[in-house]
Structure 1
Amino acid sequence: MATLQTHGRIEQLRALFWQLVRFGLTGGAATAIYAAVYWPIATYAQARWPLEHRSVWPLIANVLGYLVSMVAGYVIHSRWSFRDVGARDKVSRTGGRFLVVTLVSFALNTFFVWFLTGPMHGATWWPLVTNVFVTPMVTFVLYRFWVFA
């Protein structure tokens, strides 16, 4: 009996591990899409404007990058990363919860962009570090245990 329980637990951990791997690959792709939209706009548009208007461009770039990566992320996460979790017949529940997590994720990224390029006077690439390492950890937990559960 204990062997069956142990085997079942190992299978759950194995499934969670591979789900995390799929999430990492998908999240990496969504993050690369975000970065490909964010960084050029934040960097080059900012350089073309007078000094007093430069701080707004990283925030505009953040919104644009996030919108593009959000659409790609939903499609790939729902069909691949979390394909083994929960029922897929509740698109309205999943879609609504995905939107809430996306807004939380967007708020985190926006805060990092604002704080690091604004008050910290950092380079436009600084927020990419937090957006690649901090935000994905938060969103994985929310997606796994709330959105696609």
Structure 2
Amino acid sequence: MLHRVDELRKSPLFGQLVRFVIAGGLATVVYAVVYSPLAAFGITSEQVANFLGYLFAMGSGYLLHSRWSFRGHGQGAAQTTTRFFAVSLVSYALNTFWVFLLTDDAMLAGPWWWPLIPVLFVTPLVTFALNRFWVFA
């Protein structure tokens, strides 16, 4: 068992996963720092707050992931940038869905913070898989 754990720890995929979790966590914090006050204080709608959080998180996420999480892994910069942007749109669509489903009056009409739960735990899993196996493959 300890041998398997040691093999996993030395695996390049494990290192990428750890770096992705840290960098993605930071990008998610950026999203939450932008989204939360805008939505909580009613400065704007949850969807506008979501979009602004996405813009800031996408920029910071690209820098962190391309220069650290997946550095030295994969294709050239032009293809990587285009694919990263496509994945960021998938992440935006997922987060938009969570905000709509959980806060919209026509749906569950929950508080502004409910979407942060799937934003923190579901969207990152999807984006890791897409970044690992398509963007930076």
Give me the TM-score of the superposition, normalised by structure 1: 0.82
Aligned residues: 129
Describe how 1:35-114 pairs up with structure 2 within 5 A.
35-45=32-42, 57-87=45-75, 90-114=76-100
Give the equivalent residue in structure 1 for 2:134: 146
- Tell me, which stretches of 5 or more residues in structure 1 are unaligned? 1-9, 47-55
Matches of 1:27 and 1:65, distance apart in 2: 14
Matches of 2:123 and 2:8, distance apart in 1: 28
Matches of 2:37 and 2:67, distance apart in 1: 30
Matches of 2:79 and 2:11, distance apart in 1: 27
1:85-136 deviation digits (Å, cap 9, x = unpaired) = 114xx21100000011000110000000011001101111100000000000
Give me the TM-score of the superposition, normalised by structure 2: 0.89
Matches of 1:144 and 1:123, distance apart in 2: 33
The match for 2:25 among 5, 17, 28 is 28
Percent identity reads 53
Q: Which amino acid aligns with 2:78?
A: S
Matches of 1:12 and 1:93, distance apart in 2: 30
Give the equivalent residue in structure 2 for 1:17: 14
Matches of 1:13 and 1:103, distance apart in 2: 32
After superposition, the Cα gap between the structure-2 partners of 1:21 and 1:12, relative to the gap in structure 1 and judged at 3 Å, is: closer
1:126-148 deviation digits (Å, cap 9, x = unpaired) = 00000000000000000000000
Question: Which consecutive segments of 4 or more residues in structure 1 shift more than 6 A?
Answer: none
Point out the structure with max Rg over C-alpha: 1
Matches of 1:33 and 1:11, distance apart in 2: 30
